[in-house]
Amino acid sequence: MSKQPEEISFSLLKSVRRQAIDTSKKALVKTEFLSTDFDMPLVVKPNVEGLSLPAWTADNRDFIDSSLLKHGAILFRGFDIVSRESLEAFVQAISLPLMYYMEGATPRTQLSDKIYTSTEYPSDQTIALHNELNYVLTWPMRIIFSCAVPATEGGETPIADVRRVFNRLDPGITRKFEEKGWMLVRNFGDGLSLDWQTSFRMNTRDELEEYCRNSRIQCEWKDEERVRTRQVRPAVRKHPVTGEKLWFNHVAFWHISSLEPKVRELMSTVFKQEDLPYNTYYGDGSDIEGSIVEEIRQAYRQETVAFLWQKGDLLFMDNMLVAHGRFPYKGPRSILVTMGEPYSDRESWTPESIAQA
């Protein structure tokens, strides 16, 4: 797994920087930042008691859209979004077309049609920063987290602007990944990750094979229940609205060097490299140097912003601009998540065309 919070070079954000809003509609709220070091997330709070977030949102869509493009993330605080129903009301107010969690890698409980619990992963572990489903041909442009129950201790959802992550990386690294792309290899059926039926939301081999053909995924059956998949994707993409280059991949997240040393040693003993539940490579199938992966992890660490959840918080993010993760926690914790605005760039998936992505 990735490093623990105390190893990450940042401080929890406590200072507040205010930003004025001019128009009468927006005067119902105030905005501020959590730190003088980062302009993300933009924090929006009600100026009047009992203000309905869905109602205010419906009247201020342009402000929200432009703020997401500029800052990447908006934290709505003090609006009391604490239930599935209140989250659904917000989604309806912003007219967000939702999508399913396809090609999933970790267990979640589906609470309604397209609203889930956040990743159900051991509470003492860190979930590294990542942009949701960036390895899928159609990914969500927007993702929403709402806090029903904050953890007793810890449990932050760290975020990082991947425009800044890209700019922190050595140009030689980004150039190589722009030329080669990255490859994800997954092995299903060994009991150490989701089975393929759960991950792909289907039940028959024919369904899976058809999905893989349509999604530019190589599918190799090892036996009746075990299957290996390979997919090549661009490591760097341009935002469809701003045109900015983004570090948009799971290269470090699933690379074997990102595992804790003892876990990595055990996995290497039990599995051949090609049989690991997950691993990442350059798009041509060659190994990614561990030192390169460490530089990527360091870039994420340097851009990490974290804050303690408060009950009723809602975090609205541009999924292409901002990566997210999770820190360990103690006590009960309930964070709901939904994702939407499907976007696909199906022309830039092959190694030959990756450089033009």
pLDDT at 4: 43
Assess if residue 134 is contained within a domain: yes
- Same domain flag for 10 and 140: yes
Q: In terms of pLDDT, which residue wins out, 94 or 26?
A: 94
Decide if pLDDT at 100 tops 90: no
Shared domain check, 289 and 320: no
Same domain, 175 and 254: yes
| Confidence (pLDDT) at 5 | 43
Q: For 196-207, what is each residue's pLDDT tens digit?
A: 999 999 999 999
Q: Say yes or no to pLDDT of 259 above 80.
A: yes
Q: Are 173 and 270 part of one and the same domain?
A: yes
Q: Using the predicted structure, report yes or no on whether residue 129 has a pLDDT greater than 70.
A: yes
At residue 35 the predicted structure's pLDDT band, cuts being 50, 70 and 90, is confident
Residue 112 lies in a domain: no
**Average pLDDT, integer, range 126-153:** 96
* Confidence (pLDDT) at 169: 99
User: Would residue 49 count as lying in a domain?
Assistant: yes
Range of the structural domain that residue 34 is part of: 5-106+117-155+310-344
Q: Residue 355: what pLDDT?
A: 42
Give the pLDDT band (50/70/90) at residue 350.
low
User: Does residue 298 surpass a pLDDT of 60?
Assistant: yes
Q: Model's pTM, two decimal places?
A: 0.89
Number of folded domains that form the chain: 2
Instruction: Calculate the alpha carbon distances from 172 to 167, 250, 292 in Å.
Output: 12, 19, 10
Contact assessment for residue 328 and residue 32, using Cβ atoms and an 8 Å cutoff: no
Does a structural domain hold residue 285? yes
One domain, residues 194 and 148: no
In this prediction, residue 345 has a pLDDT band, given cuts at 50, 70 and 90, of confident
Is residue 111 situated within a structural domain?
A: no
Using alpha carbons, select from 123, 147, 173, 70 the residue that is nearest to residue 313. Answer: 147
Q: Which residue has the higher pLDDT, 347 or 193?
A: 193
As beta bridge partners, residue 273 has: none
Residue 160 located in a structural domain:
no
**Domain of residue 55, CATH code:** 3.60.130.10
Residue tagged 């890209």 (tokens): 166
139 with 270, same domain?
no
Mean pLDDT of the chain: 89
